[in-house]
Amino acid sequence: MNSDFIEKAKNLKLLLTDIDGVMTDSKLTWYTDGEGRNIEVKNFESLDGMGMIFLRACGIRTGIISRGSAPVLQNWARLLGMDIIYFGCMNKAAALQDACARFGCTPQETAFIGDDIIDLGILKASGMPLTVANGVDEVKRLAVYASPKHGGCGAVRDICEQILKARGQWDGVVQAVEDGTFTDPPAQLTVVKTALKK
């Protein structure tokens, strides 16, 4: 990791992420149940989830900002002990400002993981723009780190590890897990279901 990444990681208080193409492989799967309702299904990588839990255990708040609104996202966020999730959000930079106000941090103390041009505004506004191997070129040009792994294939876990290693906290996490003393930190999930405007 370069010195810029290390410095940003040390100051990090909040990590937010997109979902499709970052925590999933970006494929959208739907099925229709017996009552005619269309249900969206997403495949998540468990390693990514544990990476987010490790961040929370080391004092970094976490959350999701997504244009989508599948109920499974809320379940995933709650399972990981995340702090906030934004549904149906086109203006992700506005969601970043809202999250900073809620948690008492600045955009410079936040990171965002994105993969597509819808993420450009928030990536530019955040102090630590991050992406995945399948991120588009426009996103990669803004990112201080691009994981060599693809979305849905351990990219988020890789990013979480790199952040904690830069902060000098990774070895402590590994030791706590090995010793059996690691515990999931408690969190209260805040759900914001309306798109935020400028």
**Digit-coded pLDDT (tens) for 5-48:** 999 999 999 999 999 999 999 887 778 888 888 888 888 999 99
Distance CA 26, CA 5 (A): 26
Least reliable range by pLDDT among 4-8, 32-36, 53-57, 80-84: 32-36
Decide if 166 contacts 145 (C-beta within 8 A): no
Sign of the CA dihedral with 101 first, then 107, 112, and 117 last: positive
Per-residue confidence (pLDDT) for residue 79, from 0 to 100: 93
Q: Which residues pair with 111 in a beta bridge?
A: 15, 128
Q: Percent of the chain having pLDDT more than 70? A: 97
pLDDT at 198: 47
- Which of 9-13, 75-79, 102-106, 142-146 shows the lowest per-residue confidence on average (mean pLDDT)? 75-79
Q: What is the pLDDT of residue 187?
A: 84
Rounded to the nearest integer, the mean pLDDT of the chain is: 93
Confidence of residue 144 (pLDDT cuts 50, 70, 90): very high
Kindly tell me if the per-residue pLDDT of 145 is higher than 90: yes
How far from the centroid of its chain's Cα atoms is residue 145's Cα? 14
- Over residues 144-172, the mean pLDDT reads 98
Q: How confident is the model at residue 194 (pLDDT cuts 50, 70, 90)?
A: low
Cα 19 to Cα 178: distance, rounded to the nearest angstrom: 30
pLDDT over 80 (residue 174): yes
How far apart are alpha carbons 23 and 16 in whole angstroms?
A: 11
Residues 122 and 141 sit within 8 Å (Cβ to Cβ): no
Average pLDDT rounded to a whole number, residues 38-67? 93
Q: Is 195's pLDDT higher than 70?
A: no
pLDDT above 90: percentage of residues in the chain? 80
Residues 6+ apart with CB under 8 A from 33: 39
Is-contact 64 53, C-beta < 8 A?
no
The whole-number pLDDT of residue 197 equals 53
- For 135, phi and psi rounded to 5 degrees? -65, 150
The Cα 194–Cα 198 span in angstroms is 13
Residue 195 to residues 25, 91, 121, 192, Cα–Cα distance (Å):
24, 7, 15, 8
Model confidence, pTM: 0.93
